[in-house]
Amino acid sequence: MKTIRSMVIVSGDPVSLQRGASELMQALQKEIKAFDLADEITVAMASDLGRHDALPLVVVYPDAVVYGPVQPSQARLLVEEHLYKGRVAEALLAPVRELSGTIAWLRARKGTLPAEQRIVLRRAGLIDPESIDDYILHDGYQALGKALTTMTPAEVIDEITRSGLQGRGGAGFPTGRKWSFVAGAPGQPKYVICNADESEPGTFKDRLILEGDPHSIIEAMVIAAYAVGASEGYIYIRGEYTLAYQRLEKAIQQAEEYGLLGDDIFGTGFHFKIHIHSGAGAYICGEETALIESIEGKRGEPRARPPYPPTKGLWGKPTLVNNVETLANVPPIIRSGADWYRSFGTPSSPGTKVYTILGNVNNTGLIEVPMGITLREVITIYAQGMRDGRPLKLFQSGGSSGSIAPASLQDTPMDFESFRKAGVSLGSGALLICDDRTCVVDLAKVLVQFFRFESCGKCTPCRVGTQRSYEILTAITEGTARLEDLDELLRLGEAMETLSNCGLGQTAAVPTRDILKHFRAEVEAHIRLGVCPSGVCPMEKAAVPV
C-alpha cells in the first residue's frame, strides 16, 4: 500500500456548490483514478477554506498551492500537471492577492504531512503493544538507559524543563517545574502517579496511548521516578479501560523480566515498582487529590489545597502526578533532547498535542498535530470539512469542562498562550465541532446536567450551584424563564468558580458563562420570543412576560 502524499481540498461553501463544486470534486476523483494515483492522493470537500474569492477553489496540501476558480472540465489539466507530473498548473492558479491573508495557515504548513508530526503516537498501530521486543526494536527504553547511566536526576529535570513540556491533562502546568517541586520536597518515600482516569466526555487520546504503546508509559514513569527520587508508582486507570489495563499489566511483567523495572535497574542500584489501580467510574477521580484519596481506599473526594501533592500527596508523602499524554512525551525528549522537541509547536507551547475530533464533521477520530495549529486547519485537513456543508457555529475545546467558543475564533492558534489570551481553555484535547443546527442552551443544559450528576456533593457551591443552574437552563428550553434568571446564572457561576473545592465545581459554570458571553441573543430569544432559533428545544410553553 502506497503512502498518502497529497490531499486535494475542494471548497464546499454555498457559492462554490452553486458554481459546480460537487461536480468538480467528482471529476477530480475520476481523473486521479485514471492516472492511478488513488492510493497516493485523497480528495475532500471543506465548507470554509478561509478564502472567499475565485470560487470554487482547489487546494493541494501540503504544497500550499491554491487554484481557482476551477471548472469540472479543467480537472484533468490540474491532475495531470500538478499531481502526476509534479509541476504547478499555472493557468489555473488563483489570484495572488489573498495568499498572504486568510490562506496563511496553509502556507505555514507547507511541506508537512500529518503523519510526520507524531511524537506521542508514533508507535501506535505500528508495533505489537504486547511485545517488549517490538518496543525495544523501535527505540524503546533507550531514553531510560540514557537517563540512568549518563544523566543525574537534576540533569533529567533540567532537560524536561528546557523542553518547555506543559501538562497535557488540561491545566498546562510546566512539567519540569512540577518535577523539581517533588524532587526538592523533604520526606520519603516519594511516589509517581500516572493519571489514566480519562473520564472527560469526548476524550479518548490516553486510551490509544495505553492500548497502542503501553511500554512508553512504563519507561516514562521510571525516568520520572529517577528524576524525583521516587521508589514506587501507581497507574490509576479508568475502570472501563479493560484492554488497556491488561496490556499495562503485561507490559509491567515484561519490563520486570527484562530488568527494566523493579530492583537494580540497568545495574545502577535504582529501584522502582509500579502498581495498577482501577477506578470505579467516578468522574471526580480525574482530579488529582480525589484520585489520591481513591488509591488510599477512601471515598473519591477532592482534598483542600494547599498542601499540594508535590509536598503532601499519597499517604502524606511527596507525590508526582502526571497525565498519560504528558508522560508519553518524556522518553522522546530524553532520547532526542530539548532542542529537538522545541522544533515542534510554538515558542511558548512546544511539542505536539493529541486531539479527539467529534461533532458535525465528515471525519471524526484522533490526530496528533503541532501545538499552534488552528481549528480551521483541523476541520479542513483532518476532519475533511463540515458535514453536509453546514457552516461552523461553535466549538468546545477540552471536553465538558472546556470552553464554548464561536466560529470567529477558529483561526486562533491552538496553544496554551494564544487560547489563554482569547479566554479559551485548551483542556484535555477533545474538540466538539458544531454546525448551525446546534442550540447553545440545549448544549449548556446537557453539560451542566453532567456536572450535576458527577458532583461528589462535598461542597455546597458545586452541589447546589449545578442543580440550580440546571433548573434555570431547563426553564429556558421550555420557554418559562425570565431575563433576570440570566443574572442568577452568572451569579451562580461566579460563586462556583470562586468557592468550589475543586476543578469540577470551578468549571461547571463555564458552559453558561460562555453561551451568555458569545450567544446571549440566542439565549434571550428563548425567553423574549418563546422560540428556539435552532429548532432544538421543545418550547412546550409560551414565553412569559419579560
CB atoms within 10 A of CB 58: 29
Among residues 64, 60, 87, 70, the alpha carbon closest in space to that of 23 is found at 70
Q: In which domain, by residue range, is 364 found?
A: 352-435
Among residues 112, 124, 234, 223, the alpha carbon closest in space to that of 165 is found at 223
Residue showing cell 488513488: 38
483 with 470, same domain: the answer is: yes
Among 80, 112, 144, where does a domain finish? Answer: 112
Domain count, the chain: 4
Q: Are 219 and 141 in contact (CB under 8 A)?
A: yes
Q: Enumerate residues 6+ apart whose C-beta is below 8 A from 133.
A: none
In angstroms, the CA 317 to CA 233 distance is: 12
Residue 174, Ramachandran bin (φ over 0: left; ψ between -120 and 50: alpha; else beta): beta
376 with 489, same domain: the answer is: no
Among residues 13, 215, 4, 196, the alpha carbon closest in space to that of 113 is found at 4
Determine, yes or no, domain membership for 156.
yes
Question: What are the Cα distances from residue 432, in Å, to 121, 427, 449?
Answer: 21, 12, 17
In tens digits, the chain (546 residues) has pLDDT values of 456 788 898 988 889 989 999 999 999 999 999 999 998 998 888 877 778 888 999 988 878 788 999 999 999 999 999 999 999 999 999 887 544 334 555 655 554 444 447 899 999 888 999 999 999 999 999 999 999 999 999 999 999 999 999 999 878 899 999 999 999 999 999 999 999 999 888 888 999 999 999 999 999 999 999 999 999 999 999 999 999 999 999 999 999 999 999 999 999 999 999 999 999 888 888 889 999 999 999 998 899 889 999 999 999 999 999 999 999 999 999 999 999 999 999 999 999 999 999 999 988 989 998 898 899 889 988 888 888 888 999 999 888 888 999 999 998 999 999 999 999 988 888 999 999 999 999 999 999 999 999 888 888 989 999 999 999 999 999 999 999 999 999 999 999 999 988 888 888 899 999 999 999 999 999 999 999 999 999 876 544 444
203 with 336, same domain: the answer is: yes
162 with 305, same domain: the answer is: yes
pLDDT for the residue 427? 82
Residue 214 cell numbers, joined: 503501553
Helix (H) / strand (E) containing 289:
helix 288-295
Determine, yes or no, domain membership for 361.
yes
192 with 333, same domain: the answer is: yes
pLDDT for the residue 336? 96
262 with 149, same domain: the answer is: yes
323 with 215, same domain: the answer is: yes
Kindly state the DSSP code that residue 93 receives in the 8-state scheme: B
280 with 159, same domain: the answer is: yes
Size (the chain), residues = 546
Among residues 301, 314, 310, the alpha carbon closest in space to that of 275 is found at 314
pLDDT for the residue 481? 94
Determine, yes or no, domain membership for 481.
yes
Strands (E), 170-306: 191-196, 232-237, 262-265, 270-278
Determine, yes or no, domain membership for 374.
yes
* CATH of residue 97: 3.40.30.10
Helix (H) / strand (E) containing 23:
helix 21-34
Determine, yes or no, domain membership for 119.
no
Determine, yes or no, domain membership for 544.
no
Among 340, 363, 378, where does a domain finish? Answer: 340
Predicted TM-score (pTM) of the model is 0.86
* CATH of residue 310: 3.40.50.11540
Q: Which residues pair with 396 in a beta bridge?
A: 404, 432
Q: What is the DSSP string of 459-526?
A: SHHHHHHHHHHHHHHHHHHHT---THHHHHHHHHHHHHHHH-SSHHHHHTTHHHHHHHHH-HHHHHHH
305 with 207, same domain: the answer is: yes
Determine, yes or no, domain membership for 101.
yes
358 with 449, same domain: the answer is: no
Burial class (CB in 10 A: 0-12, 13-18, 19+), 542: exposed
SS (H, E, C) 45-80: EECCCCCCCCCCCEEEECCCEEECCCCHHHHHHHHH
Among 380, 400, 435, where does a domain finish? Answer: 435
Collapsing DSSP to helix, strand or coil, 406 comes out as strand
* CATH of residue 402: 3.10.20.600
In angstroms, the CA 57 to CA 426 distance is: 31
SS (H, E, C) 124-185: CCCCCCCCHHHHHHCCCCHHHHHHHHHCCHHHHHHHHHHHCCECCCCCCCEHHHHHHHHHHC
Strands (E), 279-378: 319-323, 352-359, 365-370
pLDDT for the residue 98? 45
Instruction: Give the type of residue at 127.
Output: I
265 with 309, same domain: the answer is: yes
pLDDT for the residue 1? 43
Question: What are the Cα distances from residue 529, in Å, to 140, 222, 479, 489, 543?
Answer: 62, 60, 8, 20, 6
Question: What are the Cα distances from residue 210, in Å, to 244, 247, 282, 296, 515?
Answer: 5, 8, 20, 23, 35
Residue 169 cell numbers, joined: 491533562
201 with 282, same domain: the answer is: yes
Question: What are the Cα distances from residue 303, in Å, to 315, 369, 521?
Answer: 13, 35, 39
Determine, yes or no, domain membership for 85.
yes
